Chains A and B, each alone.
Chain A
Amino acid sequence: GAGVSQSPSNKVTEKGKDVELRCDPISGHTALYWYRQSLGQGLEFLIYFQGNSAPDKSGLPSDRFSAERTGGSVSTLTIQRTQQEDSAVYLCASSLKTGQGEVSYGYTFGSGTRLTVV
């Protein structure tokens, strides 16, 4: 597609339920990133994919968070047993390439999924 697409745009869930957030990156972008942003805060890195593998998942806050990417394209971020502190905007981004020591290109962000845990 022309841009990074995220769904749903808004999600309200009850505490303790599982949620799945989807990201469809720009075709041909091998690098994919998940960030989250709490109200009025900066972006917190969660996980980075290069192709289907995740060489850096250091930002996942707990084992309730997991992500996968299939076919070098669509990625799903899953949050199990959601807690109120998980409420945030979850942003996905993709870029043309990345690699240690390489000058990276800018990221293209999706519009995010606003998750509210009640």
Chain B
Amino acid sequence: SQQGEEDPQALSIQEGENATMNCSYKTSINNLQWYRQNSGRGLVHLILIRSNEREKHSGRLRVTLDTSKKSSSLLITASRAADTASYFCATVTNSGYSTLTFGKGTMLLVSP
């Protein structure tokens, strides 16, 4: 079943612009993670934010989490052509075996 839903499904921007992707989820979480996927193959872990955290930074990435709205956002600042990829949010709930449940992703295209 789908826990996270990303918005928008696709995003096209110019190099140097900022890209913002949103994720909404349904049930309470332990943590939320963002992943990047190039060319439809392996995913790369970008950042993890815990349910008691509101904001986290890693390089050009900024993630926010609003548990009251069950939503998260990923901001990529000063985007580069190499940031072109699909971005997925994934959640770990407080029940079950702490496996990740992924959304369908946002496809980001950064044009030079």
Interface residues of A (CB under 8 A from B): 4, 33, 35, 37, 39, 41-43, 45, 48, 50, 55-56, 89, 91, 93, 98-112
Contacts and interface: CB of A to CB of B under 8 A. Distances in A.
B20 interface: no
B43 interface: yes
17 contacts: A35-B102, A42-B88, A45-B102, A48-B99, A55-B97, A56-B96, A56-B97, A99-B97, A101-B94, A101-B98, A102-B30, A103-B30, A103-B92, A104-B48, A104-B98, A108-B45, A111-B42
A37 B42 contact: no
B30 A109 contact: no
A89 B39 CA distance: 12
A91 B43 contact: yes
Contacts of B99: 33, 45, 48, 56, 98
A112 B41 CA distance: 6
Pairs of residues from A and B, 4 with the lowest C-beta to C-beta distance, nearest first: A106-B45, A42-B104, A43-B102, A109-B42
B42 A100 contact: no
Interface string B75-112: 00000000000001010101111111111110000000
Nearest to A92: B42
Interface in B28-80: 30-31, 33, 35, 40-45, 48, 50
Given A89-B41, A91-B43, A106 B101 contact: no
Interface of B: 2, 30-31, 33, 35, 40-45, 48, 50, 88, 90, 92, 94-105
A111 B41 contact: yes
Nearest to B40: A89
A50 B44 CA distance: 21
A67 to B, nearest CB: 14
A103 B33 CA distance: 11
A42 B98 contact: no
Given A43-B88, A45-B101, A98-B98, A104 B42 contact: no
